[in-house]
Amino acid sequence: MTHPTHESCAHCGHHHELRVEDLRVSYRNVEALRDVSFATSCGACVALIGPNGAGKSTLLKAVAGLLPVAAGRILWRGTKVAKWSREIAYLPQRENVDWQFPITVRGVVRMGRYPQAGWWRPFSAADEEAIGRAIELMGLADLGDRQISQLSGGQQQRVFLARALAQEAHVLLLDEPFTGLDRNSKAGLAITLRDLTEEGRLVIAAHHDMDTVRDIYDEVLLLNRRAIAFGPLAEVFTEAGLEETFGSLPTDGKEVA
Amino acid sequence: MSDWLMEPFRHPFNQRAVLAALLIGLTNGYASAFVVLRKSALKVGSLSHALLPGIAVAILVAGLNHWSVFLGSLFAALLVGLGSLAVSRGSRLDHDSALAILYTAAFSGGIILLRRLGVVQEMEQWLFGNIMGLRDSDLWTNFWISFVALGTLTALHRPLLMTLFDAEVAATLGVPVRALNYLLLALLIVVLISSLQAVGCILALGLLVTPAATVYLLTDSTNAMFWGGSLLGGLAAAFAVLAGWWLNIEQGPAIVLVLGVVFLIAFLFGPKYGLLHRLRHARFGVR
């Protein structure tokens, strides 16, 4: 796998690696993930593929620092991911967001600057600029004052991406970003994720629509409680790999080579 | 007519009651936004009941004064709140059930104890409030409680709001979500206590939910919800105290009733989220 921008991040000129080693995560006493190892870096777009309950969300949350790691470790740029990092942005599943919350598009994006601005300090000019730029980049310039329930599914997803951009995150963790979007929004979001990847960000998304995997991702992690396989799309996203992951071929995976 | 309108302002205890209502309404109205956004009205209601046994024990141990009542009720509500968490985490029972068990048991204990203390005439006051009975020192206690609670809530507005919107995302942005949740709970209890004398521990919940809930039906702005709730709470409470005098009805229930009526109006006639607006647009098939 040699992606043109894989060597370094276009927006910061460094090569950043995310390495997960023998990760095990448990909820109370139930093991949700074990033996998960993979390494990827900025400029890659990674699909997490596996059946429901395979631990895709768990893995994303663990990398985001939301879950305690029972064994193994997660390294970002060579250091262990502590509780949280400004460089890692987590985007929840759309169904987990309270869309009726009285907040505007701009309000959500502003939250991305809180790590920089702290709890009390007023936003600096640099903060405001980053917020404006993020909104602009995600094509939300005309919607800044909209309450977030008054957006299409694709726009809602882009609001959270804009928040991640305002945060200046290098790693974007998305939980089923395409779920519930219409065809046009899906196509638009795919282009956006590709653009963010070309910029040198590391995009990792739980994904379940087998038909679109090839158009969006460079690398695939097959997951079912443990890592089945990880690597470049062409090597890993195969009939044999999917069969091992799902037990049988997923119903919508007929077109898989 | 004007005599009748001005009558309430002539009496010092009435001026005090209006001032107290304004103060309590402002604080509760502001804090009510947190309760509504956190969708925890019933939990807060349970905790307001848990104030009663705390008062009873405090009177038993230290006699009746501001600080014994304040500390006693705070301690009792915290005990019930944290105890319910411990029970639900340490058993297979859900948190709401655990909370219901503990607060009803505590409330019952409080009633039995208060009756034995020979303060029966005050029982109703603790349950339903007596804003006309406030003294200057009560007003000062309320002022300080409101000052500390409002000050802390505004100072922590950013991280609190992020926690309420999405606790997981907030955590990935470095907000200490769990600590803030506990702090918010403690502050809400403190605010409940501030309205204890005015509306009593049963009606206190109305003051701590209705104002921001009403504004929620009228606006999409977060700030409007907090400050609008505050303004509505203060004005409605002050007006209700006066109305109580004019119409000769009890002030505590009047406060909560006025808020309820305002809420109903917003629910029916709200320009954007009101029921009539929705029905009208549903009929023509427009959203």
A171-184: pLDDT as tens digits: 999 999 999 888 88
Q: State residue B189's pLDDT score.
A: 93
Question: What is the pTM assigned to this prediction?
Answer: 0.87
- Domains contained in chain A, number: 1
Tally of structural domains, chain B: 1
Residue A90 Cα distances to B12, B169, B172, B189, B195, angstroms? 57, 6, 7, 33, 40
Judge whether B198 is closer than 8 Å to chain A, CB to CB: no
Question: Do residues B144 and B160 make contact, with C-beta atoms less than 8 angstroms apart?
Answer: no
Query: What is the pLDDT confidence band of residue A250, given thresholds at 50, 70 and 90?
Result: low
Whether residues A111 and B173 touch (CB distance < 8 A) is answered with yes
Q: Do A102 and B164 count as a contact with CB atoms less than 8 A apart? A: no
Option in B155, B174, B221 nearest A115 (CB)? B174
Q: In this structure, what CATH number is given to the domain that contains residue B167?
A: 1.10.3470.10
Which residues of B are less than 8 Å from A86 in CB distance? 173-174
The shortest C-alpha distance from B36 to chain A (Å) reads 10
Predicted pLDDT at A163: 94
Phi then psi for residue A202, to 5 deg, are -100, 115
Token pair recorded at residue B181: 């949740």
Of B173, B220, B225, the CB nearest to A104: B220
Q: Is B177 on the interface with A (CB under 8 A)?
A: no
Q: Scanning every residue of chain B, which has its alpha carbon at the shortest distance from the alpha carbon of A169?
A: B173
Would A240 be classed as within a structural domain? yes
Q: Which domain holds residue A243?
A: 1-87+213-257
Task: For residue B127, give its domain range.
Answer: 2-283
Strands (E), chain B: none
- Residue A65, domain CATH: 3.40.50.300
CB distance A65–B165 less than 8 Å? no
Give the rounded percent of residues in chain A with a pLDDT score beyond 70. 90
Q: What is the pLDDT of residues B44-85, one digit of tens each?
A: 999 999 999 998 899 888 887 778 888 999 999 999 999 999
- N-term to C-term CA, chain A: 19
Q: What is the pLDDT of residue A51?
A: 92
- A48 domain-assigned: yes
In a domain, A164, yes or no: no
User: Using one digit for the tens of pLDDT, what is the confidence trace for B262-282?
Assistant: 999 999 998 888 888 888 887
Domain contains A180: no
Task: Band the pLDDT of A216: cuts 50, 70, 90.
Answer: very high
Question: What percentage of chain B exceeds 70 in pLDDT?
Answer: 97
